[in-house]
Amino acid sequence: MAFDPQASETTLEEIAHVGPEEAGLESAFWRASENRLIAGYHAVMGMPANSSLEKQPSQSGRDPRTPEPKSGPHAPRRGRLFHLLWPVTSYVVTNVTVTLLWLVFFAFSRTVVIGRRNVGEERNTLLLSNHQSMLDSFLVGLAAFYPQSWLKPHVIPWNPAAAENFYKNPLLAWLADNWKCIWVREGRRDLHALHRMIQVLPRGVMTVFPEGTRSRDGTVGPGRPGTGLLILATRPRLIPVAIDGMQAVLPIGRYLPRLFKRIAVSFGSPVDYTDLLAMPRTRETAQAVVDRVMAAIRVQHAELRQRRSKDGSRRLR
């Protein structure tokens, strides 16, 4: 199955005009997706997704049937100097961070990576993973692209990040912006975050956790339709990713990772969703796309659990 990045440009023009039956949150999302290009976009690294210079979707002419966005805090505003230096600072900060985390995952823990060749290096690639810890996005990106990221900065994934976790203070917020994080407000249902995601994904790689929250027991939960809206708008290559063991490395409520744990990451073959592209672009279709990916993730996760149990049985012999 081949995905043409240029095809998504015309697709967005088509889906921007929705019928009455598609009014609501997804209707607002489709309208927000019309202005995808960001002024000042850097050809290799992109540009900060939380850009204060970014053109936001216009609220004029808003459909009265569409709910008003919730008021609340916004992503940190960055000046022109930050934008000028960002391609360099993001490249350095991200690669230094993942190099240090490589030591945590591979030198001081037992991490196994399966199916890395399935990922490739194409732009407009979406890595969809189950979610167990706050370090999952680093693990997925590192397992897929390190050390190539030193020579090919465009493969460094974008990461939607919960504002309450990654933007708690100015220093962490600065690091998050340089880690290519996309600010997502607390409470989610953030149309502006979705708008930023469809701007940057076609020209790069992104890691997304469809569950929307971390699992407390390591099991794979249901996916949410917001990721499906992103998929229908951008038509990326979908790579299902399964993680196992990260809930023991950094459980919810803990801030420093535990060492000497067993971790496994599995990258599956690209998910074919061509048939769903012909269906009406509604929340139900978006959910169907996500459900298909989540089914693949569950199969991979079960295989990782089975592998772990077999390894444990061998050590007991």
Mean pLDDT by 10 residues, the chain (317 residues): 37 35 46 44 60 46 47 76 96 97 95 96 97 96 96 95 91 96 81 91 96 90 93 97 95 90 97 95 95 97 90 61
The number of distinct structural domains making up the chain is 1
pTM of the model as a whole: 0.80
d(CA 131, CA 282): 25
Q: Which amino acid is at 188?
A: R
Task: Kindly state whether residue 55 falls inside one of the protein's structural domains.
Answer: no
Cis, peptide link before residue 160, omega less than 30° from 0 = no
Q: The CATH number of the domain where 40 resides is what?
A: 3.40.1130.10
Residue 72 inside a domain? The answer is: no
Q: What percent of the chain has pLDDT over 70?
A: 75
Domain assignment of residue 125, yes or no: yes
Q: For residue 140, which of 177, 115, 162 has the smallest C-alpha distance?
A: 115
Whole domain around residue 292: which residue ranges? 7-50+77-316
Placement of tokens 């708690």 in the chain: 168
63 in any annotated domain: no
Indicate whether 65 belongs to any domain.
no
How far is 22 from 285, CA to CA, in rounded Å? Answer: 11
H-run or E-run covering 92 = helix 80-102
By the 10 Å C-beta count (0-12 exposed, 13-18 middle, 19+ buried), 154 is classed as: middle
172: number of Cβ within 10 Å: 14
For residue 2, being part of any structural domain is answered with: no
- Cα Rg of the chain (Å, integer): 19
The one-character DSSP state at 104 is: I
Confidence at residue 38, expressed as pLDDT on a 0 to 100 scale? 39
Residue 69 lies in a domain: no
> Which burial class, exposed, middle or buried, applies to 170 when counting CB atoms under 10 A from its CB (0-12, 13-18, 19+)?
exposed
61 in any annotated domain: no
